[in-house]
Amino acid sequence: MNVHFEGDLTSLLPGIQLLSKELGLSEAAGGLVIHVEPSSDGLEVSLEEGHAYIRYEKKHQFYRGLGLLVQHGRSGTPFHIREKQQFDTIGPMFDLSRNAVLTLDSFKFMLNKMALMGLNTVMLYLEDTYEISGEPYFGYMRGRYSQAELKEIDDYADQFGIEAFPSIQTLAHLEEFLKWEPVKHYKDTKGALLVGEEKTDRLVEHMIDAISAPFRSRKIHIGMDEAEELGRGKYLDKNGYVSRFDIMTDHLDRVLKVVRSRGLKPMMWSDMFLKLASNGGDEYYDAQTQIPEEMASRIPKDVDMVYWDYVHTEREDYENLIAKHRPLGCNLVFAGAVWVFNTFGVNYGLSLNATDTALQVCKKEGIREVYATMWGDDGMESNPFIALLGLQLYAEHAYSVDKPDWAQVAERVKFCTGIEADAYLQLKYLDETPGSEPDNRKQSNPSKFLLYQDVLLGMFDKQIEGLAMSAHYAQLEKDIASRRVGSAELDYLFDVPEKLCRVLKMKSEIGIELKRAYDAQDKDALRRIAADVLPAISDAVRELRAAHRTQWLRMYKPFGWEVIDIRYGGVVSRLDTASVRLLDYADGRIMRIEELEQERLLYSTTNRFTNKGVGWCSYYYRMASPNVFFHVLNPF
């Protein structure tokens, strides 16, 4: 499309140049005249005969407007769009601490998509994946960002009017740093800092200085979530019992003293305060929890509280939990999620429904700052790019008074990413399988545990017994393949899910088949499985691994891939051992296969037999074996 801009483009031109190629724009005399001007009343985009205009209130809105103009203007039909942003701040939080550290090119690509969507912030979750001078073990071999890299991300985001800022941990969730023996003097428990110590205070000060330096933004997220182990290790030995609330508020005061002195604006996760106020002391969503006045009075009011909630789909739940936060007396921020946690896919069934409900309530309750978290728990087999449909829903909510029309969301995601909404939605069926709850509300993740479980041990076989898993994955393989468009820039995202389905259509029920044949003493069936089926599965796993490796190295720094490599290697090695064991038995070299003698038990009571889906497992090592992967004599 040939265009000619009129108006003051001084601050907009860098962003226009960055997006012109993917929008197919060329500046040319005689092209469509686009008049650009600031506005005090939201975003307005119009096309009339021979000319168009974009009026915008905030810089980031211009780029959404430019996308809308191209999207609707290609036909030449006149149109007029007017939008008012419903949240002051909205955007994703990328987990860059669970092995998957986005390359600069990947980050910039994502920022391009965010600009077209009209998002205006991005939170970088960095536990130890940034540099601290004088702390060589901080992020060692973990793909940590340099100061220059973070500044480059910030500079790039700023061209679109997107505010980038860091989210770090100043209390817990620091296992990957504290595991090193040379830094044991900072350690209370496995993941929590030894607070109340001068050396720990200096470390936190260095953290804050290091991470705030590359960013324009004065915002900083100081973490402090899920610190249940606080004060229960070395701190307890040194100080005796002190209530976790007292420990936490004392440490928070110390952290905030540093933050305030640097002119930074802090926020933190709210869960520990609600947990400490609950009857059991560890329940975040307890319906009976009330914040006592004494607790509320001791919480500083200049720190924003981030209420995170990824699981609820009923308005009343959000309304009640928001009400429970109000006595804290702090500005309230909301963090939802696009569920890429602990899976190869995206739990869109839960994510989209939870997002729709949560953001409608946020609008009603006057919450002005919203984030879409994308956690990478247990090594991140998934990625934020397949979550773009979920992120698009957040964007459309930001410019809709109520719930956005789904057709609009679908049209926008196709325009912004080049991928049809229905193609993204196929990825939910990696885990939304026979036996799951509607929309996978209980977060079953069979795409992961059925890949990694051992075929001889059959840890999850009882969970899926009687379910047509093989047929499900065979059909899903076809459904994904039929929706692929080779010319689309992001089509490669579907290579891993498609190849995973190929593996799972063969592997998902093979343990059940093995056990059945063994119990029936059908040695011919066992010989066939050993000679033909298991090697075919192994070949498919190798193809999956190769595709996953290509995808990883395209998106992420190489650090962390070794973990996934080892997991695939374990699957292939165990398939080989299974073949050997089966042939030895079938040919009479051994009298029994002890693994197949064992009764199959349910993995957990969180399963379809108790109306909780087909099952969930958070950790690879629990999927692969019931035996010891590591043993920590003293976790503190």
Instruction: CATH number of the domain at 342, please.
Output: 3.20.20.80
Question: HSE of 402 in the Cβ direction (CA atoms, 13 Å)?
Answer: 1
CA 564 to CA 383: how far, in whole Å? 13
Higher pLDDT, 487 or 613: 487
- 344 and 457 co-located in one domain: no
Contact between residue 31 and residue 69 where contact means Cβ atoms under 8 Å apart: no
- 235 and 289 co-located in one domain: yes
| Number of independent structural domains in the chain | 3
Q: Is the dihedral of CA 465, 466, 471, 472 positive or negative?
A: negative
Q: Determine the average pLDDT of the residues in 503-527.
A: 98
> Contacts for 320-329 with beta carbons within 8 Å, 24 or more apart?
320/287, 321/285, 322/361, 322/365, 322/367, 324/274, 324/289, 324/290, 324/291, 325/270, 325/274, 325/291, 327/290, 327/291, 327/293, 327/296, 328/270, 328/273, 328/291, 328/296, 328/299, 329/296, 329/299, 329/301
Q: Is the residue at 634 inside a domain?
A: no
* Tens digit of each residue's pLDDT (9 = 90 or more) over 357-398: 999 999 999 999 999 999 999 999 999 999 999 999 999 999
Its pTM stands at 0.96
CA 222 to CA 91: how far, in whole Å? 18
Contact between residue 359 and residue 82 where contact means Cβ atoms under 8 Å apart: no
Q: What is the pLDDT of residue 579?
A: 98
- 114 and 42 co-located in one domain: no
Q: Which of 53, 83, 113 is the C-terminal boundary of a domain?
A: 83
Q: For residue 341, is it left (φ>0), alpha (ψ between -120 and 50) or beta?
A: beta
Q: Determine the average pLDDT of the residues in 147-151.
A: 98
Q: What is the pLDDT of residue 76?
A: 86
Contact between residue 460 and residue 454 where contact means Cβ atoms under 8 Å apart: no
Q: Which of 55, 83, 111 is the C-terminal boundary of a domain?
A: 83
Q: What is the pLDDT of residue 635?
A: 54
- 139 and 276 co-located in one domain: yes
Contact between residue 90 and residue 366 where contact means Cβ atoms under 8 Å apart: no
The CA-based dihedral angle spanning residues 375, 443, 351, 354, taken in that order and rounded to the nearest 10 degrees: -120
Report helix angle 406-417 to 388-398, nearest 10: 120
Amino acid at 177: F
CA 129 to CA 126: how far, in whole Å? 5
The candidate with the shortest Cα–Cα distance to 315, out of 368, 365, 366, is 365
Q: Determine the average pLDDT of the residues in 347-365.
A: 98
* Tens digit of each residue's pLDDT (9 = 90 or more) over 127-137: 999 999 999 99
- 267 and 222 co-located in one domain: yes
* Tens digit of each residue's pLDDT (9 = 90 or more) over 257-291: 999 999 999 999 999 899 888 877 678 888 788 99
CA 448 to CA 622: how far, in whole Å? 11
- 53 and 105 co-located in one domain: no
Q: Is the residue at 147 inside a domain?
A: yes
The candidate with the shortest Cα–Cα distance to 89, out of 157, 151, 163, 150, is 163
Contact between residue 625 and residue 454 where contact means Cβ atoms under 8 Å apart: yes
What CATH number does residue 514 fall under? 1.20.120.670
Q: Is the residue at 66 inside a domain?
A: yes
Q: What is the pLDDT of residue 251?
A: 96
- % pLDDT > 70, the chain: 99
What CATH number does residue 79 fall under? 3.30.160.230
Q: What is the pLDDT of residue 296?
A: 93
Contact between residue 233 and residue 636 where contact means Cβ atoms under 8 Å apart: yes
CA 419 to CA 398: how far, in whole Å? 21
CA 151 to CA 146: how far, in whole Å? 9
* Tens digit of each residue's pLDDT (9 = 90 or more) over 492-504: 999 999 999 999 9
* Tens digit of each residue's pLDDT (9 = 90 or more) over 212-263: 999 999 999 999 998 888 899 999 999 999 999 999 999 999 999 999 999 9
**Among 30-39, 149-158, 416-425, 563-572, where is mean pLDDT lowest?**
30-39
pLDDT band at 610 (very low <50, low <70, confident <90, very high): confident
- 70 and 102 co-located in one domain: no
- 369 and 235 co-located in one domain: yes
Distance in Å from the first CA to the final CA of the chain: 62
- DSSP class of 437: P
Range of the structural domain that residue 150 is part of: 89-417
Burial class (CB in 10 A: 0-12, 13-18, 19+), 114: buried
* Tens digit of each residue's pLDDT (9 = 90 or more) over 440-482: 998 999 999 999 999 999 999 999 999 999 999 999 999 999 9
Pairing type for strands 26-27 and 43-48 reads unpaired
Q: What is the pLDDT of residue 311?
A: 94
Q: Is the residue at 630 inside a domain?
A: no
Q: Is the residue at 424 inside a domain?
A: no
- Percentages helix, strand, coil for the chain (3-state, rounded to 5) are 50, 10, 40
Q: Which of 29, 54, 83 is the C-terminal boundary of a domain?
A: 83
* Tens digit of each residue's pLDDT (9 = 90 or more) over 400-430: 999 999 999 999 999 999 999 999 999 999 9
The CA-based dihedral angle spanning residues 94, 95, 99, 102, taken in that order and rounded to the nearest 10 degrees: 10
Q: Is the residue at 543 inside a domain?
A: yes
Contact between residue 403 and residue 86 where contact means Cβ atoms under 8 Å apart: no
- The three-state secondary structure class of 109 is helix
Contact between residue 90 and residue 49 where contact means Cβ atoms under 8 Å apart: no
The candidate with the shortest Cα–Cα distance to 469, out of 442, 495, 489, 444, is 444
Give yes or no for residue 632 having a pLDDT over 90.
Answer: no
- DSSP class of 38: E
Q: Determine the average pLDDT of the residues in 126-152.
A: 98
- 199 and 65 co-located in one domain: no
The candidate with the shortest Cα–Cα distance to 485, out of 542, 432, 423, 540, is 423
Contact between residue 614 and residue 494 where contact means Cβ atoms under 8 Å apart: no
Q: Is the residue at 633 inside a domain?
A: no
Average per-residue pLDDT for the chain? 95
Q: Is the residue at 464 inside a domain?
A: yes
- 551 and 530 co-located in one domain: yes
Q: How far is CA 631 from CA 418, 627, 628, 634, 635, in A?
A: 47, 10, 7, 9, 9
Contact between residue 56 and residue 38 where contact means Cβ atoms under 8 Å apart: yes
CA 234 to CA 563: how far, in whole Å? 30
- 26 and 96 co-located in one domain: no
Give yes or no for residue 629 having a pLDDT over 90.
Answer: no
Give yes or no for residue 201 having a pLDDT over 80.
Answer: yes
The string of DSSP codes covering 259-323 is HHHTT-EEEEE-HHHHHHHSSSS--SS-TT----HHHHHHS-TTSEEEEE--S--SHHHHHHHHH
What is the Rg, in whole angstroms, of the alpha carbon atoms belonging to the chain? 26
**Residues 6+ away with beta carbon under 8 Å from 445:** 342, 343, 431, 615, 616, 617
- Residue 225 tokens read as 């979530």
Q: What is the pLDDT of residue 633?
A: 55
Q: Determine the average pLDDT of the residues in 8-21.
A: 96
Q: Is the dihedral of CA 164, 169, 173, 174 positive or negative?
A: positive
- 192 and 166 co-located in one domain: yes
**Residues 6+ away with beta carbon under 8 Å from 412:** 71, 117, 392, 395, 396
Contact between residue 201 and residue 192 where contact means Cβ atoms under 8 Å apart: no
Give yes or no for residue 634 having a pLDDT over 70.
Answer: no
Q: What is the pLDDT of residue 631?
A: 62
